[in-house]
Amino acid sequence: MAQIRLKNVSKRWNNFIGVDNFNLDIADQEFLVLLGPSGCGKTTTMRMIAGLEEITEGEIWIGDRLVNKLEPKDRDISMVFQSYGLYPNMTVYENIRFPLKVRKVPQDQHDERVMKAARMVELEPFLDRRPAALSGGQRQRVALARAIVREPNAFLMDEPLSNLDAKLRVSTRAQIKNLHHALKTTTIYVTHDQIEAMTLADRVVVMNKGVVQQVGTPMEIYDRPANTFVASFIGSPAMNLVAGTISKGVFTSEGIRIEGLPQGVDGAVTLGFRAEDASLAETEGQIEAPIYTVELLGEATMLSMRVAGELVSIKVGKDYRAEIGDRARIAIPASACHLFDQASGTRIG
């Protein structure tokens, strides 16, 4: 078990900054997710922790060891990648046992450890098969078992679900969560999928262009995004963001007026609110605009409306029906609104 600490960690290639001054303490047993769009530096951060990428500046600590100069094999961590990296000529059993052989773990422990790992990911019926005779989900479980069998200090997982179809992704995600509950091994998990991040993480690190944007529990990030980047990355659909002006606690823009907002932040702002915090207004609402599309989701109906030049999403009851072009009145409580500085995007209320 291990705590992992990153102190002022940066990665540069010539003039390009891949990761900029990353600071974080990852607690022992924590499940930490690095989340962000393609190219934001997640994989580079992970590879630096694994020792596969040299760091340009800073310190990485695993437990009480400074590991900057340690070879990957000496860092006592197991990695699981999106491509499974299985040996095609070995059976499932032999694939899972492989790390024990490499590490010269005494032979008499192999069978028990392989079987324990296989049991955890429900692979017992497949132990004699070769990878070619397995589904993608089963292959990924072999990769997981091979990581587990080593009983490492930490797991590093880089988009382990991205080659699986949507249904398998959900069940394998649940399996990873359950595994972490059972093993409690410190885990760093990279994804660009905010739902994976929200469902798996104790804490999420949201990154953009090599820079950490926010670190927090899934609910902190959802309820109080630090800036418009995080607001627009988390949630399904993402938070609605509308440019306008605020004066004496009243936000106005084309087709929208919200009273009762915090006082003292007058000027150009970006207002944020979530689709699920809006509802149909009985009488006068905060938004009045024509409907752009109506999408039936089954459990709800999603309206989109053009407000101040932006399409905003409004989640209403499953039985609501309307035509494109109908005018709708929408209520948004001031307490559900987020305010961001229009120039920097930083949260101001």
Quick check: 136 binds ligand ATP (CB under 6 A)?
no
- Give me 22's structure tokens: 């990353």
212 binds ligand ATP (CB under 6 A): no
Tell me how long the chain is: 349
18 belongs to the binding site for ligand ATP (CB under 6 A): yes
CA distance 155 to 120: 15
Residue of the chain from 38, 132, 299, 321 that contacts ligand ATP (CB under 6 A): 38
Strands 16-26 and 4-13: antiparallel
Minimum distance between the CB of residue 48 and ligand ATP, rounded to whole angstroms? 9
Among 3, 21, 39, 265, interactor with ligand ATP by CB under 6 A: 39
The end-to-end CA distance of the chain, in Å, is 39
Residue 43 or 138 with smaller CB distance to ligand ATP: 43
Q: Which residue is nearest to ligand ATP (CB)?
A: 43
DSSP 8-state secondary structure symbol assigned to residue 227? B
DSSP 3-state assignment of 303? strand
321 binds ligand ATP (CB under 6 A): no
| Residue 160 is a binding residue for ligand ATP (CB under 6 A) | no
Cβ contacts of residue 51 below 8 Å, gap of 6+? 67, 70, 71, 72, 74, 75
| Binds ligand ATP by CB under 6 A, chosen from 22, 33, 44, 258 | 44
Q: Taking the complex as a whole, how short is the minimal distance between the CB of residue 11 and ligand ATP, in angstroms?
A: 8
Assess 36 for contact with ligand ATP (CB under 6 A).
yes
Which H/E stretch holds residue 42? helix 42-50
Where does this chain touch ligand ATP (CB under 6 A) — which range of 21-29, 38-46, 171-179, 234-242? 38-46
Alpha-carbon distance values, 19 to 7, 16, 47 (Å):
12, 9, 11
Binding mask 186-205 for ligand ATP (x = CB under 6 A): ------x-------------
Q: How far is the CB of 167 from ligand ATP (least distance, A)?
A: 22
Distance between CA 282 and CA 347 in Å, rounded? Answer: 31
Residue in 4, 32, 35, 40 binding ligand ATP, rule: CB under 6 A = 40
- For residue 114, which of 130, 128, 93 has the smallest C-alpha distance? 93
Nearest approach, Cβ of 16 to ligand ATP (angstroms)? 5
| Neighbour-count burial for 230-261, b at 16+ CB within 10 Å, e otherwise | bbbbbbebbbbbbebebeeeebebebbebeeb
Find the shortest distance in angstroms from Cβ 49 to ligand ATP: 12
Q: Which of 200, 106, 87 is nearest to 146 (CA)?
A: 87
Summarize as ranges the residues that interact with ligand ATP (CB under 6 A). Answer: 13, 16, 18, 36, 38-44, 192
